[in-house]
A = this chain, B = another copy of it.
Amino acid sequence: MAVTIRDVARACGVHVSTVSRTFSAPHMVNAETRTRVLSAAEELGYRPNRAARSLTTGRTGNLGLIVADLANPFFPPLIKAAQAAARARDYHLFVADTDEDPAKEEELVLAFSKQVDGVVLCSPRASNKALEKLVGTIPSVLVNRRLRGVTTVLMDVARGARTAMEHLAGLGHRRVALVAGPAGSWTSGEIRKAVADVPGLDTVVIGPNAPTEEGGTAVAAQVAAAGVTGVLAYNDLVAIGLIEGLDELGVSVPGDVSVIGIDDSITGRLYRPKLTTVAMPTADAGRMAVDLLITSMSAATLLETHLVVRETTAPPKGIP
């Protein structure tokens, strides 16, 4: 059995409450006693049991962060920023991955419940109803998902998507495709709405699709057959998968068709040709989500996005 507060108390002839106080309210204990307790604790290798502490205080000092897919390069910067923000306020952040499965989402929130003081749900896929139930059980903030009465950090992907389409239009494209994301995704919905009526652009929607490289590759033929010269993809991964698929079909990017991703992930930045993409403020979102959670502030924040033009977009063929 590990060494407990009682062992320390015994070791320096003092009562447990005094030991407890030396750790949770040091100023309330005599300086000399404090050093004695501290050194005894040190010597015995005493570590406060946070689970036990949380039982009385109701606080755990932990936060949870739930993402759909750790392997999606969109998330790591968000997670790292969230982690830094949590640390800065003396919290620990535990991360879990739902594998894009709404059921696991629920399960994980339940698992976190009582072991964390709050949870950040990133791009949750659950239905509104299920989500409502979840956020009722524990302080939560949502990232890229809107829900009545729940603190939210949103990225202005609508504007970014629109700018991306306008970029295409400006290049001379007339008929373009939107390769949409998964059905439950707020982001995908926003994008759809935002690009529905860009002046001068005829937009065909393809999807829903998995938010992965495979999702993009899978629709390459469909895109090639759609008679479009430009594409906005749900995210960088989908864009890259699409480019790979197009390549197999002998369609070159940006020679034959221009492709724009969304996220500005490291993967897109390193890809060749370097991916034109909509930069998402992921780090800001991670930081803000944690800050809002800790300060229990209720707010709806909209973070800006911007277009990063790189090498996968060009004027349509035939237009110099």
Contacts and interface: CB of A to CB of B under 8 A. Distances in A.
Nearest to A244: B270
Protomer copies: 2
A55 interface: yes
Interface in A88-130: 92-97, 99, 108, 110-111, 113-115
Contacts of A169: none
Contact of A54 (B51, B108, B240): B51
Interface stretch (A73-81, A148-156, A157-165): A73-81
B95 A95 contact: yes
A277 interface: no
Nearest to A272: B272
Contacts of A272: 271-273
A97 B95 CA distance: 9
A270 B137 contact: no
A192 to B, nearest CB: 26
Contact of A55 (B51, B62, B110, B115): B51
Given A55-B55, A70-B80, A270-B270, 17 more contacts: A2-B114, A47-B110, A49-B55, A50-B113, A51-B54, A60-B115, A71-B73, A71-B80, A73-B73, A80-B97, A92-B111, A95-B96, A213-B266, A213-B270, A240-B270, A271-B271, A272-B272
